[in-house]
Structure 1
Amino acid sequence: MIDLRSDTVTRPTEAMWDAMRNASLGDDTLEGDATVQALEQEAATLLGKEDALFVCSGTMGNAIATLVHACHGGEAVLDQEAHMANSEGGGVSRLAGLFCRTIPSHRGEMNLEVLSDAIRSGYSRYGEPTAMVAIETSHNAAGGCVQSLDYLAQVASVAHERGAAVHLDGARLFNAAVALGIDARDIAQHGDSVTFCLSKGLSAPMGSILLGSREFIERARTFRRTIGGGLRQAGIMAAAGLVALRTMPARLAEDHRRTLLLWERLRNSALVEAGQYPPQTNILRLAVPSGKAENHVRQLALHGIAIRASGPCALRLVVHRHIDDAAIDAVSHAFEALAGCDR
């Protein structure tokens, strides 16, 4: 099976397995774990932040960040297609108690004028102050689009002028950095807090990192325990995360190249509309006739291709390190075969 459902399906590398077998086994909620501490310190240094926290998932990291930023209540501003708004809303509203305001966006970038008007700097008859503004890069729903550094700087400037914090949901932060040809810290500098996943394109079996100031992470540790994220022998997973952080970002350009190749193969297919814009990273979204998405998923499975539907009229394919050039050829041929049967 060629599995393009997500880059979370990757398996650990042999180096990760070796590191896991030899990892320390301290209790991260008691005396601490040396491997977890090494991972947190290395991540903080790499991204130019004062401190970091190892968490179970990106969703947990985003939820904890929201809890920290929501100390005085208020509102959270996100783009209308953001993963935090559409798939993690419980963390924003039910856990943190923030009213979620969504802003129209294009290719993952919010309209800055609308954003500026939406951010409240204080209490009014219409609502409470804005506690945080969240940005997502690369942007999942926008097909892996990457926001420019200029856009990130403008969002941070607008938010900070009005006293709101900026949280950067960087689940695929290193994909974004590779696409822009810059260091990940150049993106991270625009967030008061940042998350990134070790378990997506970096191939670790689990885990994410939440970063920020020392004061922010001190409070985040308390909230991690509050929501059930206290970890015991976490060194096993952190060991794989260290290998992922040190070795995997450099190869992400291969995934981007193959995603672009797949887009070039499929954009003129009678079966799909591959979109006006070529993919920037490792996510490819394909528009299909309304109601056809699930049928295409089932038909492609018969060819040994696993993908996901994004609603009734779109498909999502995610390239990762287990997808080589031969797999791209096989997927292209499967789409051609399915298009021939669909005529």
Structure 2
Amino acid sequence: MSSNTLLRSVRALLRCTSRSPASPVGSPARRFLRATPVRLYYNRTGAGAADTGGSVPVLTVDLRSDTVTKPGPAMRRAMAEAEVGDDVFGEDPTVNELQKMATDIFGMEAALFMPSGTMSNLISVMVHCRERGDEMILGDLSHLHIYEQGGSAQLAGVHSTTVTTLPNGTFDLDQLDSKIRHGYPDAHYPRSRLVCVENTHNILGGRVVPLPFLQELRSLADQYGLALHMDGARLMNAAAALGVHPSVILKHCHSVSVCLSKGLGAPVGTMLAGSKDFIQRAVRARKALGGGMRQSGILAAAGKIALSDMPGRLDEDHRNARSFAEALTQCDPPLYQVDLAAMETNIVRFVLHDPGLSPTEFCELMGTVSEAEVDALGQGVSVLMFPHVGGTVRAVWHLGISEEDTQLAIKKAQFVAHQRSLTSGRGR
């Protein structure tokens, strides 16, 4: 299945749902991205033993999302010992330290600690689009457009128009140009104020937006006086994949939202960054939405470890994800199809060759342990995944999944393929 065919399937499914360049090894970027490994901050494995009532324990490998990460002992200790104050008054020292750290890492003038990425993206839209009826332009497969409940329209009164998302997470700039409104204050049209881009791209399996595209996109935005916001929930994965400092990516953006509670392992929080004026306005919007927190340094302490120590280990997730993807392509009998060229970070999306096996049924098989599996593998392994858009299955690597866990997941996928061939008669 080609990338374009898969995209058409994705869009069709979403419509149905709606109706129903690497840096040198010694460079600052490499030193930042390859910081001290963080095995001290989480337990060795995500494969936790679960007693099913039988004599054989079941090991669980949770690949549903990188949101399932949990803070380890060192992160919990930092949270317990954090110095706190009233953040609404600007008096929480740990929050202030986290915001200063984010400012430096992202190369922005200021930053703000947010409860969630959805609120952070919404506030970015509210600040950039200051009048009700303003318009933003974004990809038709973007997280902000698909998964955030239309909050920009519900709560901010901001109109959206979409451009077609391409297989690498970009969009055609000529099409974007054609969507920009001109002639304000013509009474018939909204006013174009904002362009949003997603990096890495969630629906497209963790694709990294190329730097030349961002440069051209910013040039076009500047030409028409538009702001450029990046939904960078997995920005640090993009930086690790490109081998650059995050600020290299963000020099093309007016604002960014970066999640701390995905692959970076904090329990809560997102960082919003931009100009000083942008953040000042964002503080007001956060308060209006109920996002003003008090002694939130307890959470910010985890965020500090997430930003300082966790980026250096993201390459590990990328390697493990690729190992799994490559193993699927080599599986005999061939049940799985993976576009390895699209495998850039920590997300693996694949298609099942068997038309009689739906993604939902496959995920049930991967999560269930049978006696035959225990006999064949000597143990039981429950691998948790999600059925995804376009008839695919998604698996996401994170700091709770080790190389050993990855090998367990590979063995389980091979076992399911073998068992499927027997039941369908192809193995006879």
- Residue matched to 1:44: 103
CA contact 1:120–1:162 (8 Å) conserved in 2: no
Matches within 5 A, 1:219-258: 219-258=281-320
Deviation of 1:341 after TM superposition, in Å, equals 2.1
Deviation of 1:126 after TM superposition, in Å, equals 5.6
Deviation of 1:319 after TM superposition, in Å, equals 0.4
Residue 138 (structure 1) aligned with residue 200 (structure 2): yes
1:5-49 per-residue CA deviation (whole Å, 9 max, x = no partner) reads 111111113221111011122111135211001100110011111
1:204-247 per-residue CA deviation (whole Å, 9 max, x = no partner) reads 11100000111000000000011110101100000010011110
Find 1:318's aligned residue among 392, 396, 399: 396
Task: Give the gaps of 5 or more residues in structure 2.
Answer: 1-59, 369-380, 422-428
Cα distance between partner residues in 1 of 2:182 and 2:107 = 28
Residue 329 (structure 1) aligned with residue 407 (structure 2): yes
Cα distance between partner residues in 1 of 2:290 and 2:346 = 32
Q: What is the one-letter code of the residue matched to 2:405?
A: A
- Residue matched to 1:79: 139
Q: CA RMSD in A?
A: 1.5
Deviation of 1:266 after TM superposition, in Å, equals 0.7
Residue 305 (structure 1) aligned with residue 383 (structure 2): yes
Q: What is the one-letter code of the residue matched to 1:317?
A: A
Matches within 5 A, 1:30-69: 30-69=89-128
Residue 14 (structure 1) aligned with residue 73 (structure 2): yes
CA contact 1:76–1:98 (8 Å) conserved in 2: yes
Q: What is the one-letter code of the residue matched to 1:95?
A: L
Cα 1:330–1:191 shift into 2, 3 Å: same
Find 1:127's aligned residue among 179, 185, 189: 189
Report SS of the residue matched to 2:194.
strand
- Residue matched to 1:88: 148
Cα distance between partner residues in 2 of 1:65 and 1:122 = 25
- Residue matched to 1:209: 271
Equivalent pairs counted in the alignment come to: 343
Residue 108 (structure 1) aligned with residue 172 (structure 2): no
Cα 1:82–1:300 shift into 2, 3 Å: same
Report SS of the residue matched to 1:132.
strand
Q: Normalized against structure 1, the TM-score is what?
A: 0.96
CA contact 1:77–1:103 (8 Å) conserved in 2: yes
- Residue matched to 2:157: 97
Residue 273 (structure 1) aligned with residue 337 (structure 2): yes
Q: What is the one-letter code of the residue matched to 2:412?
A: A
Find 2:211's aligned residue among 149, 163, 180: 149
Residue 341 (structure 1) aligned with residue 419 (structure 2): yes
Specify the structure having the higher radius of gyration (Cα). 2
1:141-184 per-residue CA deviation (whole Å, 9 max, x = no partner) reads 11101011110111111112111110011001110001001000
CA contact 1:8–1:200 (8 Å) conserved in 2: yes
Cα distance between partner residues in 2 of 1:314 and 1:15 = 37
CA contact 1:207–1:237 (8 Å) conserved in 2: yes
Q: Percent identity?
A: 38
Deviation of 1:268 after TM superposition, in Å, equals 4.0
Deviates more, 1:62-71 or 1:265-274: 265-274
Deviates more, 1:2-11 or 1:25-34: 25-34
- Residue matched to 2:347: 283
Cα distance between partner residues in 1 of 2:253 and 2:73 = 34
Q: What is the one-letter code of the residue matched to 1:293?
A: P
CA contact 2:107–2:250 (8 Å) conserved in 1: yes
Deviation of 1:77 after TM superposition, in Å, equals 0.7
Q: Normalized against structure 2, the TM-score is what?
A: 0.77
Cα distance between partner residues in 1 of 2:188 and 2:239 = 38
1:46-79 per-residue CA deviation (whole Å, 9 max, x = no partner) reads 1111100000111111011011011033211111
Deviates more, 1:33-42 or 1:306-315: 306-315
Cα 1:293–1:29 shift into 2, 3 Å: same
CA contact 2:115–2:291 (8 Å) conserved in 1: yes
Q: What is the one-letter code of the residue matched to 1:10?
A: T
1:62-112 per-residue CA deviation (whole Å, 9 max, x = no partner) reads 011011011033211111110001001422211221221111122211111
CA contact 2:325–2:340 (8 Å) conserved in 1: no
